[in-house]
Amino acid sequence: MNDKPESLLQVEGVSEYVLEMNSLSKSHNMAGFRVGMLCGSETNINHVLKVKSNFDSGMYKPIQLAASKALALDSSWYKELNASYKKRRDLVWELADKLNCQYKKDSVGMFVWARIPEQFESGEAFSDHLLYNKNVFATPGIVFGQEGKKYIRFSLCATEESITKSIERCETLVEATL
């Protein structure tokens, strides 16, 4: 979720030097379809196409048609989607607060990364604690690399109802573990 998307191609005079790749996975709810786009000058795009044509032969046509339809949506669709993700993010922040986790409110994206409470040695241990004691799943950050060892990651793809249930399940977590 990003209310102010930016493009490198907005910078004056760079289009002959750069290519920008984007995915429709999160922005258009097409995760798993592996649809993306490459933007840049015709010359640079043609260089890529010469190489790409030797690696694959195209994409399944119904997925291309769905992507085309998604790209044609007007801004009201994005505003509604972003409003939904904002509600979910606010609920995840409430959950993280209940769990005594630290997070940054200026981050953007489909996930909330939260530093775990000090009494837990790792995100894995905290994730297991939540799962086995509260029936709540948060991805341990270590699965994304060593820098994530003391973190968990919450997805904003969960429904508001699911996040609210997680909050309710964790009401007594703080008292029980301190």
Judge contact between 35 and 63, C-beta under 8 A: yes
| Cα 165 to Cα 143: distance, rounded to the nearest angstrom | 25
- For domain 76-177, the question of CATH label 3.90.1150.10 is answered with yes
Lowest-confidence region among 48-52, 81-85, 118-122, 174-178: 174-178
Nearest-angstrom CA–CA distance, 49 and 110: 31
Over residues 136-165, the mean pLDDT reads: 95
Task: For the chain, give every residue range classified as CATH 3.90.1150.10.
Answer: 76-177
Residue 142 in contact with residue 123, Cβ under 8 Å? yes
At residue 135, does pLDDT exceed 60? yes
Q: Which residues of 150-160 are buried (b: 16+ CB within 10 A; e: fewer)?
A: bbbbbebebee
For the chain, the distance separating the N- and C-terminal CA atoms, rounded to the nearest angstrom, is: 34
| Cβ-proximal residues to 133 (8 Å cutoff; 6+ apart), any chain | 173, 176
Condensed to tens digits (0 to 9), the pLDDT of residues 78-107 reads 889 889 999 999 999 999 999 999 999 998
At 177 the pLDDT is 52
The angle subtended at Cα 101 by Cα 154 and Cα 27, nearest 5°, is 25
Model confidence over 3-44: pLDDT tens digits? 677 888 889 989 889 999 988 887 888 888 888 888 999 999
Q: What is the pTM of this model?
A: 0.76
- pLDDT for 178 equals 46
